[in-house]
Amino acid sequence: MKLNNIIKNTALQKEMIAYVLVGLLGAVVDFAIFYLALYSKTSILISQWLGSLAGFTHNHIWQHYKIFKHNQKFEKTYISSLIISVISIAISGPLLLFLNNFISFVWLNKIIILGFTFIILYFIRKIWIFTFSKKE
């Protein structure tokens, strides 16, 4: 997606802004669950996975019904998006542990991982999940 296309396309700009706003709220859900799990003496790895999964579920509902224009059924987008997110979540736990070896502030590491996956997942969802297909 070219920057020039984004500048000229107000519908795309609105979609991206909505995606960011929903994502920020999803991040709040993610961090809240992460914090509660850590507070409950759950390991950092499991806490990361639980928070990420809760944030994903929140975001996907909004993305399916309000953000992306598409003609896919919820079940199809949820399964596809869940598979991609599970892969992302599975990678995020070990990545968080890895970053903790270099940066001893777990919250900063979580923000770095969240920001990186947020951007990557937007493009994956936009290009491969929330699409228009021919009706059979």
Contact at 8 Å (CB) between 67 and 26? no
In a domain, 51, yes or no: yes
Q: What is the pLDDT of residue 135?
A: 65
For residues 130 and 78, give the distance between their C-alpha atoms in angstroms, rounded to a whole number. 10
In a domain, 135, yes or no: no
For residues 27 and 21, give the distance between their C-alpha atoms in angstroms, rounded to a whole number. 10
Q: What is the pLDDT of residue 3?
A: 66
- The phi-psi region of residue 5 (left if phi > 0; otherwise alpha if psi is between -120 and 50; otherwise beta) is alpha
Backbone angles phi, psi at 105, to 5 degrees: -105, 100
In a domain, 118, yes or no: yes
Contact at 8 Å (CB) between 87 and 58? no
In a domain, 85, yes or no: yes
Angle at 39 between CA 38 and CA 43, to 5 degrees: 30
Reported as a single tens digit per residue, the pLDDT across 40-53 is 999 998 998 899 88
In a domain, 74, yes or no: yes
**Could you tell me the mean pLDDT of each successive run of 10 residues in the chain, 136 residues long?**
74 91 94 95 92 90 95 93 88 90 90 87 92 77
In a domain, 12, yes or no: yes
CB atoms within 10 A of CB 33: 20
Full domain range(s) for residue 57: 3-129
0.85 surpassed by pTM: no
Q: What is the pLDDT of residue 53?
A: 86
Nearest to 55, CA basis, from 37, 76, 73: 37
Reported as a single tens digit per residue, the pLDDT across 93-118 is 899 899 999 998 888 998 899 888 88
In a domain, 134, yes or no: no
